[in-house]
Structure 1
Amino acid sequence: MAEIFGYIALGAGWTVLMTFGSAAIGIVLAVPLLALAQSRFAAIRGIYNGFVHVVRGVPTLVWLFIAFFGVGGLGITLNPVTASLLALSMIATAYMAEIYRGGMKAIPAGQWEAAGALNLDRASTLRFVVGPQLFRAVSPSVATQIIGLLKDSALVSTIGVTDLVFRAGIMTQYHAEGLYMFGFAGLIYLLLSLPIAVFSRNIHARITRRYAVA
């Protein structure tokens, strides 16, 4: 049984890659995407709203199938890992951008005005005034989204990525002990999610103490 569980546990590598790879891409790409939402032009804001609503309105599994099977009609061939990262990163970008947008709305306009009164430029204002408050506001939601990506990553098994769920399924076919196989996979997911939650709480507490924001 130890060998079987060891085989399943090896799939955690792909699970971690899918989760944190897509999360990292989403965290970065959400910044320029958010700039569209801040535009004074309605057409540009419409592009942002359209992208976010379409991405969030379609199930993750459908995006995975589109990335893996659908783009073939365009003459593009993606392997399962690339297709999974593409789909999950797109989803992460849309959700992270909305998280950032909500965080920006939570910061009073007076913060920008006060920074202007101190002759701080926009970059300095973002770094020293708005940035820390934004980070504090969004860190719990970002952690929640990463945990959501961790759970959604289980769907990549449907297009052939040999993650935890894929390997647990293989072992179930051979040994017909689905309760133990998938129960063990679920335990690994739980163990992977706990550090994210703990890290988020610690960072949130530290940034609150450091900048003493209410």
Structure 2
Amino acid sequence: MGSDLVLTVLKGVPTTLLLTGVSLGIGIVGGLPFVVARVSDRRLLRVLSRSMIEVLRGIPPLVWLFIIYFGLGNSLPGIEPLQAAIIGMGLISCAYMAEIYRGGLAAVHHGQWEAGRALGMGSVAIVRKIIAPQVFRISVPATANYGIGLFKDSSVAFTLGVTEVLYWANERSRTTGDAIKPFLVAAVVYIVLSAVCAGLSRSLDKRLQRRVAR
């Protein structure tokens, strides 16, 4: 495999990382109101949140991207492929992160709430000082796993013309007629970057284990 082939495929790494990072960031923030509604005492909020989460998770990412870019794009002219991909992947991330947060909340023993109240703490203080740090700690491995999956799923954005890793591999394959080497290079790039992300998440998890009580 020539160095020019590798360099061509690597041109898509910044865009892939940008798409993955921004989409995951949207999910980390946007998942919070979803999970608050999901565990609310009000049945209507729970039903609405659960329904939205199921819809966002149930439709394949590629379909969402087509709906946003080719569907809404007709009503909102000027939307760029990368913008459409970030919106689509970000919305999906919100749903997945809400479920990750919900799992983290469920893993925190209810006695933590009672202990906080026994100390005279209000609900906001209990969440901020006791519950949230533990949920964050518990959610790190699942978030990392989802982030790695999102990184790989971002490859579907090439169908919109987003110049990420698979886009450049496909361009190289199209211009040279080689249907194997460019995609093998792309596969290696995905494997290496996924391994790096997994290693970083394990390191963060070990640090949090020492600092945050279960």
SS in 1 for 2:40: coil
Q: Compute the displacement of 1:178 (Å).
A: 2.5
SS in 2 for 1:69: helix
- For structure 1, which segment, 78-87 or 124-133, has the greater mean C-alpha deviation from structure 2 after superposition? 124-133
Identity %: 36
Using the alignment, how far apart are the partners of 1:56 and 1:211 within structure 2? 31
Using the alignment, how far apart are the partners of 2:21 and 2:114 within structure 1? 36
Using the alignment, how far apart are the partners of 1:179 and 1:124 within structure 2? 56
Using the alignment, how far apart are the partners of 1:205 and 1:122 within structure 2? 29
Q: Compute the displacement of 1:202 (Å).
A: 1.4
Residue of structure 2 in register with 1:189 after alignment: 190
Using the alignment, how far apart are the partners of 2:137 and 2:212 within structure 1? 9
Using the alignment, how far apart are the partners of 2:125 and 2:197 within structure 1? 30
| Contact map agreement 2:65 2:85 (CA 8 A) in 1 | yes
Residue of structure 2 in register with 1:55 after alignment: 56
Using the alignment, how far apart are the partners of 1:25 and 1:113 within structure 2? 32
| Contact map agreement 2:81 2:162 (CA 8 A) in 1 | yes
Task: Provide the alpha-carbon RMSD of the alignment.
Answer: 1.3
Q: Compute the displacement of 1:44 (Å).
A: 1.0
| Contact map agreement 2:11 2:165 (CA 8 A) in 1 | yes
Cα distance change on mapping 1:72 and 1:135 into 2, 3 Å:
closer
Q: Compute the displacement of 1:58 (Å).
A: 0.5
Residue of structure 2 in register with 1:145 after alignment: 146
Q: Which amino acid aligns with 1:166?
A: Y
5+ residue gaps, structure 1: none
- Report the TM-score, using the length of structure 2 for normalisation: 0.94
1:145-180 deviation digits (Å, cap 9, x = unpaired): 101110110000001101111110110111122221
- For structure 1, which segment, 180-189 or 2-11, has the greater mean C-alpha deviation from structure 2 after superposition? 2-11
**1:23-172 correspondence to structure 2 within 5 Å:** 23-73=24-74, 75-77=75-77, 78-172=79-173
Q: Which amino acid aligns with 1:190?
A: I
Q: Which amino acid aligns with 1:200?
A: S
Using the alignment, how far apart are the partners of 1:69 and 1:164 within structure 2? 22
Using the alignment, how far apart are the partners of 1:72 and 1:10 within structure 2? 27
Using the alignment, how far apart are the partners of 2:127 and 2:203 within structure 1? 23
- Report the TM-score, using the length of structure 1 for normalisation: 0.94
Q: Which amino acid aligns with 1:24?
A: G
SS in 2 for 1:134: helix
Using the alignment, how far apart are the partners of 1:209 and 1:119 within structure 2? 27
1:16-46 deviation digits (Å, cap 9, x = unpaired): 0110110011101111221111221111111
Q: Which amino acid aligns with 1:162?
A: T
Using the alignment, how far apart are the partners of 1:76 and 1:164 within structure 2? 27
Q: Which amino acid aligns with 2:103?
A: G
1:175-200 deviation digits (Å, cap 9, x = unpaired): 12222111111111112111221121
Residue of structure 1 in register with 2:181 after alignment: 180
5+ residue gaps, structure 2: none
Using the alignment, how far apart are the partners of 2:143 and 2:212 within structure 1? 20
Using the alignment, how far apart are the partners of 1:46 and 1:14 within structure 2? 36
| Contact map agreement 2:170 2:183 (CA 8 A) in 1 | yes
